[in-house]
Amino acid sequence: MVHDNRIPELDKLFEDVGTYRKSAEYRNLLDFIKRFPKMAPYNAMLVHIQKPGSQFVASAHDWKVKYGRRPKVGARPLVILRPFGPVAFVFELNDTEGAPFPEALLEPFKAEGNITENKLEDFKSSLLYEGVTVVEQDYGTSMAGFVGPIEETFKYKTMNKSELFYVFFSIVVNRNLKPSEKMATLFHELGHVFCGHVYQPKAKWLPQRYFLSKNEKEFEAESVSWLLCERLGIVNPSSKYLSGYLDSNEEIPSISIDLVLKTVGLIESIMSGRKTLRKELLVKKS
């Protein structure tokens, strides 16, 4: 994830037309994205922009092969981003016809919500490849965790060689929490890291957004954690914070929705088991 300090085009659009700045609109967007955990959050947002209220989307090929349906004549395709390519096209259920659609699929991809210690440990080890280390400490019930900048080196081993790489962030988590609570805490602190809230000038691939107010930083981090927890079906400590804020304020803080969704997508890709060392972390040989 590489960033500069320019406002992303999507955020400029939202700012110009006022979309999703109202609390009710933002709540609807988050509720929509959580319903499609098998779709990248950014793509789910693109679908919501083009056709709010969509129940189920798939490509013309998948409609035909998996569900025995086809797009109606003149149906308008929805544009999403495609991995390693520009765009792809999908069609919403109401724009297709053919065999009856399984009603069970209209509860889209219900998440399991089962976070084990093994899954947590795998995730923590994968975070090293993004320059983040996680340690657990014994704290009281009011302290879930926190994040800060560090500069340490670890050894990266491959089949042919071993190289040193930097770790620039340390997340401390309360060891007395349940696995799902530890995961939710990690999501929140990673929201701070990947949204550029933690001052670490050597992590040049991250956005430089230390100037945000505490309220803006917390709202972004809570949004990241909320979406990830909801899409996984696990205990969601961010619900109380977000619900309270959205109920009490007509508008949301001046945040980057673009960056929140990209951060959620990045964390989900790390959770999927990706273990590719970020090249910027390698210690350069003198």
Listing DSSP states for the chain in one string gives ----SSPPHHHHHHHHH-TT-BHHHHHHHHHHHHT-TTS-HHHHHHHHHHSTT---EE-HHHHHHHHSEEEPTTPPPEEEE-TTSSEEEEEEGGGEEESPPPGGGGSTT-------HHHHHHHHHHHGGGTEEEEEE---TT--EEEEEEEEEEEEE-SS-EEEEEEEEEEEEETTS-HHHHHHHHHHHHHHHHTT-S--TT-TTS---TTS-HHHHHHHHHHHHHHHHHHHT---THHHHHHHHHHH-SB--S--HHHHHHHHHHHHHHHTT-----GGGBPPP-
Radius of gyration over every alpha carbon of the chain, rounded to an integer in angstroms: 20
Whether 117 is covered by a domain: the verdict is no
Contact 220, 255 (CB under 8 A): yes
Question: Could you say which DSSP state residue 227 is in?
Answer: H
Whether 109 is covered by a domain: the verdict is no
pLDDT bracket for residue 14 (50, 70, 90): low
Whether 56 is covered by a domain: the verdict is no
pLDDT digits (tens, 9 = 90+) for 48-87: 989 998 989 999 999 999 999 999 999 999 999 887 778 9
pLDDT digits (tens, 9 = 90+) for 198-214: 999 999 999 999 999 99
Whether 98 is covered by a domain: the verdict is no
Q: Amino acid identity of 190? A: L
Whether 44 is covered by a domain: the verdict is no
Question: What pLDDT shows up at residue 3?
Answer: 47
pLDDT digits (tens, 9 = 90+) for 93-130: 999 999 998 877 766 544 556 788 999 999 999 999 99
Q: Which residues pair with 149 in a beta bridge?
A: 169
Whether 128 is covered by a domain: the verdict is yes
Q: Which domain holds residue 148?
A: 122-275
Question: What pLDDT shows up at residue 2?
Answer: 41
Q: Amino acid identity of 204? A: K
> Structural domain tally of the chain?
1
Question: What pLDDT shows up at residue 16?
Answer: 62
For the four alpha carbons of 63, 65, 69 and 75, in that order, the dihedral sign comes to positive
Whether 97 is covered by a domain: the verdict is no
3-state secondary structure of 150: strand
Residues 6 or more apart from 195 whose CB is under 8 A from it? 207, 209, 217, 220, 221, 224, 256, 259, 260, 263
Calculate mean pLDDT across residues 220-238.
92
Q: What is the pTM of this model?
A: 0.88
Whether 106 is covered by a domain: the verdict is no
Residue % of the chain over a pLDDT of 90: 64
